[in-house]
Amino acid sequence: MSYQVLARKYRPKNFDSLVGQEHVVRALTHALEQKRLHHAYLFTGTRGVGKTTLSRILAKSLNCQGTDGSGDITAQPCGQCEACVAIDAGRFVDYIEMDAASNRGVDEMAQLLEQAIYAPSNARFKVYMIDEVHMLTSHAFNAMLKTLEEPPEHVKFILATTDPQKLPVTVLSRCQRFDLKRIPAPMLADHFAMICGKEGVEAEAEALAMIAVAADGSVRDGLSILDQAIAHADLCGEGRVTAAQVQEMLGLADKTTQRRLFAALVNGDAAGLLDLVDQQFALGVEPPALLRGALELTHRVTLAQLGRDESSFSEEERGAVSEWAQRMSAGQLHRLWQLLLKGHEEVRTAPDPLVAARMALLLAGLPQEVPGATINRLCGSGLDAVG
């Protein structure tokens, strides 16, 4: 059997296994249990947070026949009946997924709606899932309005989009809207650890934390990176996913180096700072990543001053962040944040990103006694330096 990527292999099959969308699951579960079913649902959210997965689970809930063939609408689809198996396999004739990005015209929409009037072949409901619905043309939207408002009793519409702002108000008003959230990095790291356990793969907690941050709230993106990391580990012959491998693979600065660079920054150690920047650049770390690491630590030190930092994955890291939180004032952190943010913007557009990163970090790490006016003039930011 051919290899199946992790994102498909571990796609949730029921509401209980869906990660990070408890608010949506509660609402849909209650509606299904009470048989209070709307005729059109709208799922919004960034890529990889579960819009298509949620659509398939809802379609199974509406059409589940139970293991004995006498089931009814349920919030807990059996996963074994003909409808559940066929929907999971993508071959259920009464569950139609349409990609609006490639079927965006009025002709495609008219053809779909013409078929909607016919009763389902072998199901309670004919479910139409229109993905990236914001890509439809204005004429296509107009063509679907009447059917979307008063569809046949056997038809349910599920619309999904990453950009709800582009949908006409007339469409939004006809749907029950559910906004899917980005998945927090700690929750993603725990989810990836569970999958590694099932796959029999050893992985360092810091490596999974780096993957979770790189996923940017998307389960699918994170699983794709994890797939790559596992393959990279097999290639290296170590058989386990390490933070060093993930750092090299993604071009990131590792956590220890980030802390050393931040320490040089706040201590005004210009020589040490330049040495670290050059070492990381030689290892393949992109200059913007160095600024992002310093920004992340500045943010976390600020949160630690408020007792809100919960993202540390090692005792050493927690200790360092706590020490900086006690040493630095709120004004110093504000100044550092503004200078690093300005520096990150300049590094992204500079003709020589390495030189820009050196200058940005050196200026951000100037001794605190340098007058604010001097810093503003050097950085050209027009910001009021604090501290």
Strands (E), 169-223: 176-179, 202-203
**Strands 95-99, 202-203: parallel, antiparallel or unpaired by DSSP?**
unpaired
CA-to-CA distance for 323 and 327, rounded, in angstroms?
Answer: 6
Six token digits for residue 218:
């998307």
Helix (H, G, I), strand (E, B) or coil at 234: helix
Please, is 91 exposed, middle or buried when counting C-beta atoms within 10 Å of its C-beta (0-12, 13-18, 19+)? exposed
pLDDT of residue 384: 44
Region for 232 from its dihedrals, namely left if φ exceeds 0, alpha if ψ lies in -120 to 50, beta otherwise: alpha
d(CA 242, CA 232): 10
pLDDT in tens, the chain (387 residues): 467 889 899 999 999 999 989 999 999 999 999 999 999 999 999 999 999 999 999 999 999 998 888 889 999 999 899 999 999 988 999 999 999 888 888 888 888 888 888 899 888 999 999 999 999 999 999 988 988 988 999 999 999 999 999 999 999 999 999 999 999 988 999 999 999 999 999 999 888 988 998 888 899 999 999 999 998 887 766 678 888 888 778 766 667 788 899 999 988 899 999 999 998 888 788 899 899 989 989 999 999 888 876 665 566 778 888 899 999 999 999 999 999 999 999 999 999 999 999 999 999 886 644 444 444 544 444 444 434
SS3 content of the chain, % helix, strand, coil (to 5): 60, 10, 35
Q: What pLDDT score was predicted for residue 243?
A: 83
Q: CA–CA separation, 273 vs 255, rounded Å?
A: 15
Residue type, 191: H
Rounded Cα distance, 214 and 221, in Å? 8
Amino acid 70: pLDDT: 83
Contact residues for 274 (Cβ-Cβ < 8 A; gap 6+): 358, 362
- CA torsion sign, 120 to 59 to 150 to 159? negative
Please state, in angstroms and rounded to a whole number, the distance separating the CA atoms of residues 49 and 218: 5
H/E segment holding residue 258:
helix 255-267
C-alpha–C-alpha distance, residues 123 and 22, integer Å: 28
H-run or E-run covering 131: strand 126-131
- Note the pTM of the prediction, 2 decimals: 0.74
pLDDT computed for residue 312 by the predictor:
55
DSSP 3-state of 157: strand
Cα–Cα distance measured from residue 328 to residue 301, given in angstroms and rounded to the nearest whole number: 9
Residues 6+ apart with CB under 8 A from 385: 335, 338, 371, 372, 373, 375, 376
How far is Cα 269 from Cα 251, in angstroms, rounded to an integer? 25
CB contact at 8 A, 336 and 296: no
